[in-house]
Amino acid sequence: MEIWDGYYPDETLAGKDLIRGQEIPKGLVHLVCEILVVHQDGDVLVTKRADCKESYGGYYEASAGGSVLKGESVEEGACRELWEETGIKADNLKLLYKKMNKRGSAIHYGYVCITDIPKDGVVLQQGETVAYQWMSQEEFKKLMMGEKFIPSRRERLLEYMDELIS
């Protein structure tokens, strides 16, 4: 059972626990982190979600991430998620965006992590992802505009495309 801190939309703690899979009460939100991984040579890490995933199984995404757990800061959650899903230790995270989702139930923090790990050093989290690939920026942009890329993630990234790799 995954437990999150409940927050008010202004990000003050509400003193209420939220549980993954249960409806989030109106007026409360939880925090979500998304980390775009860029190799020092400019290539972008893209993963394919496991087919068994309830939402967007078999789709591609260019991020590690998930909900921030109870007691974690957003940055701690981002580092944990990145490590769990890719085996990459975040030495430097750059905040790219902070946006409320359309349902008003979560605030998404988007980070960029520049890494110099060997490209064959990615370790996928079983049950989360089934494949990964490093793509040039042009290949990534083309994939991101395709049908098998998570639409909500595309929307959040599009606004910041010019800043992503700089």
Q: What is the mean pLDDT of residues 8-29?
A: 96
User: CATH number for the 31-164 domain, one of 3.30.450.20, 3.90.1150.10, 3.90.79.10, 3.10.20.740?
Assistant: 3.90.79.10
* Domain boundaries defined on the chain: 31-164
pTM score of the predicted model: 0.90
Give per-residue pLDDT as tens, 76-123: 999 999 999 999 998 789 999 999 998 899 999 999 999 999 999 999
Sign of the CA dihedral running 67, 71, 73, 77: negative
Give per-residue pLDDT as tens, 128-151: 899 999 999 899 999 999 999 999
Q: Are 145 and 154 in contact (CB under 8 A)?
A: yes
